[in-house]
């Protein structure tokens, strides 16, 4: 029961950290969010950190996270970052709004804001919380399921900053919104709690990109939550690009609730982190909604990357299409666990899930679990999961065409992942990512960014 002891000790430390923050930060005590934070903390105290005895966490142990005494950074510091340095992480020339956060805090001077259509709000959550309480309170913490998910509860108790996006009815934002979360830990292990909320009005349209990066060898922990409320006929594209340090821990939850005929397209790209866990959930809560969940994980070294997805067909005539692909090298481990629920009333649901894995070393491992709970009878649901190795016939064929063994291997890996990348609708991001993968394949695996 050493695990339980560790989980209990760690929990106490987080509870103490909360009390300390309350004492030291008068602004927190005055905010209307105090109640929300306290409730979330109380819930976290009840459920505690997950153990591998829980089905949801059977393949991923969070003990490595609990062993490190992480501390949140109390105030903003630029940590030496300049606008020029930021340019390396924004896929230039990519003209769009870039909001930069360092160790959980908004970095106004490093951010680039662009003119927005009438009525659109894109603000750091910290600034919006007080002045837009009436718009935020009905949503914040209402979608993420903080009563069931310990890391979402923890994030809610400690949430620092992120973005609040509100798009009025009928408005389309043509340029993507890029959120860049940078974490560095020059003075000891840092934890940050990014929190984003997107409220999309009827018939609105927007694309949001979350990037998480950190220097190659820094030890830190990111606990992120994004809530998306998409109104009737709204269309949201969501990209998450995880390029954390190779020593970092990353736990993130994205919850999207879709209205009638609303559409969500999600690309979840996971390259970094020693231990990363992504939960991506979509609730098709009204007629005619459409979800596309695409994901890609490329791991090496001793990385452990876990993706849990849940698509909840709670209403009739909704469609979901899911494609997750993984390339695993060295001793790395991947987990894919995809649940599709089709509720009794959700007739005419159309759900397709595919998970494909490519193991490029002898020791790499992947667990893939499709879970289909179909409670309606007039539905179309399919799933497929594969785990394979590089096709030796294709390798030989390419080599007889004068292509070297190493190039042939990289080419086949690139071809394997291209199916996910080609669907991306932001060209600078897609091209930048392709280039990133190419470089990484050529140099061998390594997570995080060059310091």
Partner 1 sequence: MTPMLRIRDLHARAGEKDILRGIDLEVKTGEVHAIMGPNGSGKSTLANVLAGRETVTVTQGDVLYRGRDLLVMSPEERAWEGVFLAFQYPVEIPGVSTMYLLKAGLNAIRRHRGLPDLDAIDFLAMIKEKMKLVEIDQSFLNRAVNEGFSGGEKKRNEILQMAVLDPALSVLDETDSGLDIDALRVVANGVNALRSQHRSMLVITHYQRLLNYIVPDRVHVLSGGRIVRSGGKDLALDLEKKGYSWIEQESAADRAGARPVA
d(CA 268, CA 280) in angstroms, rounded, equals: 9
Q: Which is nearer to partner 1, 51 or 414 (CB)?
A: 414
Nearest to partner 1 of 69, 423 (CB atom): 423
Judged by CB under 8 A, the number of residues near partner 1 is 22
Q: Cα(204)–Cα(170) distance, rounded to whole angstroms? A: 5
Closest CB to partner 1 among residues 32, 397 = 397
Applying CB under 8 A, does 365 fall inside the site for partner 1?
no
Contact assessment for residue 8 and residue 46, using Cβ atoms and an 8 Å cutoff: no
Give the binding range for partner 1 (CB under 8 A) out of 87-95, 139-147, 370-378, 410-418: 410-418
**391 near partner 1, judged by CB under 8 A:** yes
Residue 394 lies near partner 1 (rule: CB under 8 A): yes
Nearer to partner 1, 405 or 439 (CB): 405
Window 106 to 125, contacts with partner 1 (CB under 8 A) = none
- Binding to partner 1 (CB under 8 A) within 234-293 occurs at none
- Residue from 96, 398, 437, 449 touching partner 1 (CB under 8 A): that is 398
Stretch that binds partner 1, among 217-225, 272-280, 330-338, 386-394 (CB under 8 A): 386-394
Task: Compute the half-sphere exposure of residue 312: CA atoms within 13 Å on the CB side of its CA.
Answer: 12
Q: Does 418 bind partner 1 (CB under 8 A)?
A: yes
Please identify which residue in 414, 430, 436, 440 interacts with partner 1, judged by CB under 8 A: 414
Residue 402 interacts with partner 1 (CB under 8 A): yes or no: yes
- Report the alpha-carbon distance of residue 295 to residue 212 in Å, rounded: 16
- The CA-atom distances, in angstroms, between 243 and each of 172, 181, 228, 240, 293 are 29, 10, 22, 10, 19
Strands 97-102 and 380-389: unpaired
153-161, 204-212, 324-332, 401-409 -> range binding partner 1 (CB under 8 A): 401-409
Question: Stretches 22-30, 116-124, 324-332, 403-411: which one binds partner 1 (CB under 8 A)?
Answer: 403-411
Peptide bond into 93 cis (omega under 30): yes
Of residues 362 and 393, the one with the C-beta less far from partner 1: 393
Which of these ranges, 153-161, 242-250, 265-273, 399-407, lies near partner 1 under the rule CB under 8 A?
Answer: 399-407
Q: Which of 403, 428, 432, 436 is close enough to bind partner 1 by CB under 8 A?
A: 403
d(CA 23, CA 32): 16
Binding range to partner 1, per CB under 8 A, among 107-115, 120-128, 130-138, 402-410 = 402-410
User: With CB under 8 A as the contact rule, which of the stretches 175-183, 186-194, 394-402, 439-447 interacts with partner 1?
Assistant: 394-402
Q: How far is the CB of 410 from partner 1 (least distance, A)?
A: 11
The distance of closest approach from Cβ of residue 219 to partner 1 in the complex, given in angstroms and rounded to an integer, is 36
100: contact with partner 1 by CB under 8 A: no
Q: Please check whether residue 336 is in contact with residue 368, taking contact to mean a CB–CB distance below 8 angstroms.
A: yes
Residue 407 binds partner 1, judged by CB under 8 A: yes
C-alpha 234 chain-centroid distance: 21
Q: At its nearest, how many Å lie between partner 1 and the CB of residue 400?
A: 5
Q: Of 404, 435, 438, 442, which one interacts with partner 1 (CB under 8 A)?
A: 404
Residue 436 touching partner 1 (CB under 8 A): no
386 binds partner 1, rule: CB under 8 A? no
The reply to whether 400 sits near partner 1 by the rule CB under 8 A is: yes
Burial class (CB in 10 A: 0-12, 13-18, 19+), 220: buried
Taking the complex as a whole, the smallest distance from the CB of residue 444 to partner 1 amounts, in Å, to 20
Q: What is the closest distance, in whole angstroms, from the C-beta atom of residue 415 to partner 1 in the complex?
A: 3
Applying CB under 8 A, the residues found at the interface with partner 1 are: 391, 393-394, 396-405, 407-408, 411-412, 414-416, 418-419
């Amino acid at each position: 029961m050493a695990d339980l002891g560790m989980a209990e000790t760690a929990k106490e430390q987080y509870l103490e950290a909360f009390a300390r923050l309350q004492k030291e930060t008068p602004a927190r005590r005055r905010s209307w969010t105090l109640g929300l934070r306290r409730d979330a903390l109380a819930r976290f105290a009840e459920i505690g950190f997950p153990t591998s005895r829980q089905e949801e966490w059977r393949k991923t142990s969070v003990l490595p996270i609990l062993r490190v005494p992480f501390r949140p950074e109390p105030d903003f510091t630029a940590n030496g970052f300049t606008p020029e340095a930021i340019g390396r992480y924004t896929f230039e020339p990519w003209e769009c709004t870039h909001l930069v956060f360092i160790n959980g805090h908004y970095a106004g001077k490093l951010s680039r804001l662009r003119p927005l259509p009438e009525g659109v709000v894109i603000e750091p959550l910290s600034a919006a919380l007080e002045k837009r309480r009436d718009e935020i309170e009905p949503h914040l913490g209402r979608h993420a399921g903080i009563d069931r998910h310990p890391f979402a509860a923890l994030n809610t108790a400690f949430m620092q900053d992120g973005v609040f996006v509100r798009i009025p009815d009928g408005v389309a934002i043509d340029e993507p919104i890029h959120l860049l979360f940078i974490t560095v830990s020059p003075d000891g292990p840092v934890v940050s709690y990014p929190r984003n909320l997107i409220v999309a009005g009827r018939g609105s349209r927007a694309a949001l990109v979350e990037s998480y990066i950190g220097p190659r060898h820094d030890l830190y922990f990111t606990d992120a939550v994004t809530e998306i409320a998409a109104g009737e006929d709204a269309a949201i594209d969501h990209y998450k690009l995880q390029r954390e340090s190779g020593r970092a821990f990353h736990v993130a939850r994205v919850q999207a609730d879709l209205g009638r005929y609303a559409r969500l397209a999600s690309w979840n790209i996971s390259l970094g982190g020693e231990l990363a866990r992504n939960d991506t959930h979509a609730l098709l809560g009204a007629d005619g909604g459409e979800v596309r969940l695409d994901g890609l994980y490329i791991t090496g070294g001793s990385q452990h990357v876990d993706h849990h997805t849940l698509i909840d067909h709670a209403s009739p005539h909704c469609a979901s299409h899911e494609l997750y692909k993984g390339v695993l090298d060295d001793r790395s481990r991947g987990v894919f666990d995809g649940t599709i629920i089709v509720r009794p009333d959700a007739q005419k649901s159309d759900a397709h899930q595919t998970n494909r894995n490519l193991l490029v070393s002898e020791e790499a491992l992947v667990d893939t679990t499709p879970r289909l709970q179909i409670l309606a009878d007039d539905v179309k649901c399919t799933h497929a999961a594969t785990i394979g190795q590089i096709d030796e016939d294709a390798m030989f064929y390419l080599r007889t065409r004068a292509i070297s063994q190493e190039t042939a291997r990289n080419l086949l890996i690139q071809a394997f992942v291209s199916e996910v990348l080609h669907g991306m609708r932001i060209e600078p991001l897609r091209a930048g990512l392709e280039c990133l993968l190419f470089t990484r394949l050529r140099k061998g695996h390594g997570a995080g960014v060059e310091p």
